[in-house]
A and B are shown apart, each in its own frame.
Chain A
Amino acid sequence: MKSPNRVFILLILLTVLLVVVDLPENYPLKFSVGKFSVDRVINPPRLSLTLPGFRFTREFKTHLGLDLSGGTHMVLEADMKEIPAADRPGALESARQVIERRINFFGVSEPVVQSSRVNDAYRVIVELPGVTDVDRAESLIGQTAKLEFREFADEQAATGAGLTFPTLVNTKPVGLTGKDLRRAEVSFNNQTGTPEVALEFNPEGAKMFGNVTSRLVGRSLAIFLDDFPITWPRVNTAITDGRAVITGGFTVEGAKTLALQLNAGALPVPVRAVEKRTIGATLGSASVAKSVRAGLVGLFIVALFMITKYGRLGFLADLALILYGLLTFAIFRLIPITLTLPGIAGFLLSIGMAVDSNILIFERYREEKRMGKPWRVAMELGFGKAWDSIRDANVTTLLTCFILFNPGNWSFLPSSGMVRGFAITLFIGVLASLFTGIVVTRTLIRVLYKEK
């Protein structure tokens, strides 16, 4: 029984560390941990945390989303001088999508990106939570979209069907860019009626495109927007008249999206910030405070329920839950994760799953004990048997998170801040709940629990 004691001591150290990281900032954060008085202005440590060979240089601050704490509101005006009037709404939508994608690559920050029109002015409204790095965000957003045609450097990959994912590394430019493309639009095949995307090049582009396609017959030609591949169709024949169609299994919606993306490069719309200001939360602070209080009441009832149903075991599970809360919150601060209301919903659900692991274990333990096994054996068996279901149940949740987060940035899956934020908070919550459900509760019981 030496190793549980050691783990127990490690857990206590971890708790102390987490409490330090989780120290409330200027606002009153009502965590009922220890004796930290709420009316004092307490701040978490700035950066002074040095572990052997490892040094954090980060402020442990909670990053709240637009809905909870507001942020920066930017109005970008699109310059439509060069764009024919009929193409303007489409060009605005293209610009909006380019901006949204850039912001999403900028980090998990749950922005709002909306197109907006007042009479003749075409605008994109961008709202970013917090005020950090607004200048960097602004310069990133302000760039005009860059469309580029590239070929695979390795012929093998180019002919190997559509299975190879083009990247900047395995492709090289063919010299054709968005400047050479006049426009892209959705059209329908005369024979089959299926949607496709038609490209129209300007005279110079047509000549170059003719050269490139006659060279690449049977191979793929990848098209990159902002250094990110959006499509890589196979060249079937040399196209010399400057009019190409991309066919192949499009839905109308899919063809529209691709046409918009191509147009973002073909009809690049310069944008410039005309306004920048701070805004308050979309959810009123009173409403948020009320909800947080309600969440705490809910947590308290859950804790009480565990104690009434499982006695001292329930109390130990509650201790593990407190550690779970501290751990998750610390990870949110470390990464950092922008905390929004949907994110908190994911967090609450993962608390539910953390409690569930404990309930499963305790129910198993009771069953084994009913069969007449000594309590210590029953407890270990309970942990062992509950593990199968805890594992399978959590793996499916992790799988869902993984797909929603879309780490490969696959274009057919969402890469938006909102869905991502939800996925990542649930993911962290589930991992932390596995840790507390299995390691923490088990150690607490091994060290602190004795049956009469």
Chain B
Amino acid sequence: MIRFSKYIWLYFFISALVLVPGVFALVRWGLKPAIDFTGGTLLELQFASDIPASAIEIIGKNEQMPIASVQKTEGNTFIVRMNPEGSEQIAKFQSSLAQATKEMPQVLRNETVGPVLGKELLGKTVIAALVAIIGILLYVAWAFKNYKFGLSAVLALAHDLSVVLGMFALFGHFLNIEVDTLFVTAVLTTMSFSVHDTIVVFDRIREMLKRADRSAGADFDALCDRALTQTMGRSLANSLTIIFMLVAIALLGGTTIRWFVVALLIGTVSGTYSSPFIATPILILWDRWEKRKKI
């Protein structure tokens, strides 16, 4: 048996190393919203001959005009969505395209478009997530016949969400990484994964509590240590399988989804870490605090 409960503050310290800069960045700089949330410019470009969509993306990058999407339509025409740009910038973009492709593209449409995922919908998604979290809290409290389990699971969940959001606030500030609609799904995924993982660990504690007669002085710390020791193999095996999958996609997959996968990866790692090292320590600390109060 490993004495996990002896190093509780170390776990909190490790989390704080990630959380403090992340939350600081989140409060100070916030997340960098992509065109999905802000709206931008929509261009329709027609070329005389067939050119690859990637050429447009490369030129956008060179011109410091990051392109959100390029969609090919009929007759060598492309629909390009990018951050809001003035007509001067667009003219410059057009001439760079002409240089690269040896032909002047025609701008068929130049429109200012609104967001795909507006404030209203984002607000509703946040509300739905909060409702789900309350639902999880109630279910876990009911299934484990103890509200402490529910609250600890939700605190671990809040930890994981803060890690993902914080990391992307840092990425946004230092690496110019924007968050888009895919990021929203990654956050939702983290949410369900985090609780899923925590419950597996809690289940073992519940089972041991049933077996051990607590009034006979069974030590809660030792009980949690035993539970963590026994579930550690499973926790590692499980998170490894998911991490294998995500690392493969992050390294080999297309660049368009790389940061989405990174968000999932951070969420998974944090979700696995938080079950034994955040959720369970909170239970242990709570138990110690209650005992101290009784004495």
Contact = CB atoms under 8 A, between A and B. Distances in A.
A345 B192 CA distance: 13
A248 interface: no
A280 B53 contact: yes
A219 interface: no
Interface stretch (B14-22, B94-102, B168-176, B251-259): B251-259
A279 B188 CA distance: 29
B61 to A, nearest CB: 14
B252 A283 contact: no
B71 A280 contact: yes
B6 to A, nearest CB: 24
Contacts of B269: none
Interface stretch (B159-167, B178-186, B277-285): B178-186
A385 B207 contact: yes
B246 interface: yes
Contact of B252 (A113, A294, A389): A294
A284 B254 contact: yes
A288 interface: yes
Interface string A94-113: 00110000000000000011
Nearest to B117: A418
A395 B268 CA distance: 19
Interface in B88-126: 109-117, 119-121, 123-125
A401 B127 CA distance: 14
Contacts of B230: 367
* Interface core residue of B71, B115, B125, B192 (most chain A CB under 10 Å): B192
A291 B132 contact: no
Interface residues of B, number: 81
Given A294-B251, A396-B140, A277 B74 contact: yes
Given A118-B109, A367-B230, A418-B181, A399 B237 contact: no
Contact of A282 (B69, B128, B139, B188): B69
* Interface core residue of B110, B244, B247 (most chain A CB under 10 Å): B244
Interface string B205-239: 01100000000000000000000001101100110
A413 B161 CA distance: 20
B253 A295 contact: yes
B253 A351 contact: no
A54 interface: no
A278 interface: yes
Nearest to A297: B248
B51 interface: no
Contacts of A385: 207
A277 B249 contact: no
A355 interface: yes
A346 B42 contact: no
A355 B199 contact: no
B148 interface: no
B181 A287 contact: no
A204 interface: no
Contacts of A117: 111-112
Interface string A289-314: 01101110111011001100100000
B260 interface: yes
Given A287-B254, A359-B234, A419 B128 contact: yes
Report, as a range, how many residues of chain A touch the other chain.
35 or more
A299 B252 CA distance: 13
Contact of A389 (B70, B72, B128, B200): B200
B185 A414 contact: no
Contacts of A426: 189, 192
A39 interface: no
A43 interface: no
A302 B237 CA distance: 10
Given A345-B264, A400-B191, A403-B132, A125 B113 contact: yes
Contacts of B237: 305, 309, 359, 363
Interface in A113-129: 113-118, 123, 125
Contacts of B244: 298, 301-302, 305
Contacts of B287: none
Contacts of A288: 254
A346 B193 CA distance: 10
B252 A290 contact: yes
B201 to A, nearest CB: 9
B158 interface: no
A281 B114 contact: no
A339 to B, nearest CB: 13
B125 A282 contact: no
Nearest to A398: B192
A202 interface: no
B131 A279 contact: no
Given A280-B72, A367-B230, A388 B248 contact: no
Nearest to A414: B124
A290 B139 CA distance: 40
A298 B72 contact: no
Contact of A73 (B73, B115, B206, B251): B73
Contacts of A284: 53-54, 70, 254, 256
A413 B124 contact: yes
A126 to B, nearest CB: 11
A328 interface: no
B249 A294 contact: yes
Given A257-B120, A345-B260, A414-B124, A355 B196 contact: no
A279 B74 CA distance: 7
Given A287-B256, A301-B248, A404-B132, A70 B127 contact: no
Contacts of A406: 128
B257 A302 contact: no
B254 A290 contact: yes
A306 B132 CA distance: 32
B116 A422 contact: no
B26 interface: no
B255 to A, nearest CB: 7
Nearest to B126: A414
Interface of A: 70, 73, 93, 96-97, 112-118, 123, 125, 253, 257, 277-284, 286-288, 290-291, 293-295, 297-299, 301-302, 305-306, 309, 341-342, 345-346, 348-349, 351-353, 355-356, 359-360, 363, 367, 385, 388-389, 392-397, 399-401, 403-404, 406, 412-416, 418-419, 422, 426
13 contacts: A114-B39, A284-B256, A287-B255, A305-B241, A345-B264, A351-B245, A359-B234, A359-B238, A385-B207, A389-B203, A396-B199, A399-B132, A400-B188
Given A346-B185, A346-B189, 11 more contacts: A70-B71, A282-B70, A293-B252, A298-B244, A306-B241, A352-B193, A356-B200, A403-B132, A413-B127, A419-B184, A422-B185
3 A-B pairs closest in CB distance: A287-B254, A389-B203, A298-B245
